[in-house]
């Protein structure tokens, strides 16, 4: 279409459903350059509100607490009992703030380790999910990551071993994959931590005894809930049935 005006003009077509204001594109008035503001900040800093949060209900659960002792390398011990963690009622955001609060207030400096007890953990009831755990670890300041020396993973199940063995290098960042040390029995824990340096719940000791007597449980075979394998009546039952069959043959 020809234009009656001799002035040059241009046409810019914008998609209406994007909701973009076209005036900045059509205006030729010069805009002052924006200044770049660079801030070198850690990924997370506890705010005043975070420091004033009440975590007394989580402290009462005792799923994360600082032990009085240290491992043989001199690292302070943060004990984590998975069975005590009520995953369905605690959000990932609150868990992150609680973890940061515990580290910043109870282990503000110096190296530390984590003793994680996976005994009898149920995925639906006690596991926040590896995605949330990875997110929490990645949000930790670099100083916290550097001071974490080792994670003692007590009683890892078959599922945990397979997940970490196949996907651990991709799911666990910041060198965490190389800091995990699997401890299948409590007797192996004492090689790195003296007895009495960390409190072991009674149910963890009982689970350790079950694993000691049923080593195939480590490979995904559940222990017999009815303790049928402990009843020494198998031979007697077979003998009783054989005698009954023999008496039937005599009568026939």
Domains of the chain: 53-221 (3.40.525.10)
- 175 vs 207: CA distance, rounded Å: 30
Q: Residues 6 or more apart from 30 whose CB is under 8 A from it?
A: none
Q: In whole angstroms, what separates CA 34 from the centre of its chain?
A: 42
DSSP secondary structure letters along 113-171: EEEEE-TT--HHHH---HHHHHHHHHHS-HHHHHHEEEEEEES--HHHHHHHHHHHHHH
Closest CA relative to residue 148, chosen from 80, 58, 54: 80
pTM for this model (two decimals): 0.67
Do you know the residue count of the chain? 252
Q: How confident is the model at residue 130 (pLDDT cuts 50, 70, 90)?
A: confident
DSSP secondary structure letters along 160-226: HHHHHHHHHHHHS-TTHHHHEEEESSHHHHTTTS-TTSS---HHHHHHHHHHHH-GGGGGTPPP-TT
Q: How confident is the model at residue 34 (pLDDT cuts 50, 70, 90)?
A: very low
Reading across the β-sheet that carries 180-183, which strands appear in turn? Answer: 64-70, 76-81, 112-117, 148-154, 180-183
- pLDDT confidence of residue 53: 82
Q: How confident is the model at residue 36 (pLDDT cuts 50, 70, 90)?
A: very low
Q: pLDDT tens, 177-211?
A: 899 999 999 999 999 999 999 999 999 999 999 88
- The residue whose two tokens read 């003793």 is 115
- pLDDT confidence of residue 234: 36
- 210 vs 162: CA distance, rounded Å: 22
Quickly count: other Cβ atoms within 10 Å of residue 238's Cβ.
Answer: 10
- 184 vs 118: CA distance, rounded Å: 10
């Amino acid at each position: 279409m020809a234009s009656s005006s001799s002035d040059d003009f241009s046409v810019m077509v914008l998609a209406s459903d994007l909701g973009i204001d076209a005036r900045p594109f059509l205006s030729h008035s010069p805009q002052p350059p924006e200044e770049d503001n660079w801030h070198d900040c850690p990924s997370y800093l506890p705010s005043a509100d975070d420091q004033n949060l009440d975590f007394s209900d989580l402290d009462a659960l005792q799923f994360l607490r600082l032990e009085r002792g240290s491992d043989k390398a001199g690292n302070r011990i943060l004990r984590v009992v998975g069975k005590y963690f009520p995953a369905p009622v605690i959000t990932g955001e609150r868990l992150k703030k609680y973890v940061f609060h515990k580290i910043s207030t109870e282990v503000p400096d110096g190296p530390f380790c984590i003793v994680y007890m996976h005994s009898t953990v149920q995925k639906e009831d006690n596991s926040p999910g590896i995605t949330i755990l990875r997110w929490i670890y990645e949000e930790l300041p670099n100083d916290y990551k550097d001071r974490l020396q080792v994670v003692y993973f007590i009683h890892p199940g078959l599922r945990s071993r397979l997940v970490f063995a196949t996907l651990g290098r991709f799911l666990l960042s910041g060198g965490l994959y190389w800091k995990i040390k699997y401890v299948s029995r409590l007797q192996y824990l004492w090689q790195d931590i003296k007895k009495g340096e960390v409190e072991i719940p009674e149910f963890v000791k009982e689970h350790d005894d079950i694993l000691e007597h049923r080593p195939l449980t480590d490979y995904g075979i559940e222990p017999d809930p009815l303790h049928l394998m402990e009843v020494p009546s198998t031979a007697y039952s077979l003998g009783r049935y054989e005698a009954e069959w023999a008496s039937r043959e005599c009568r026939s």
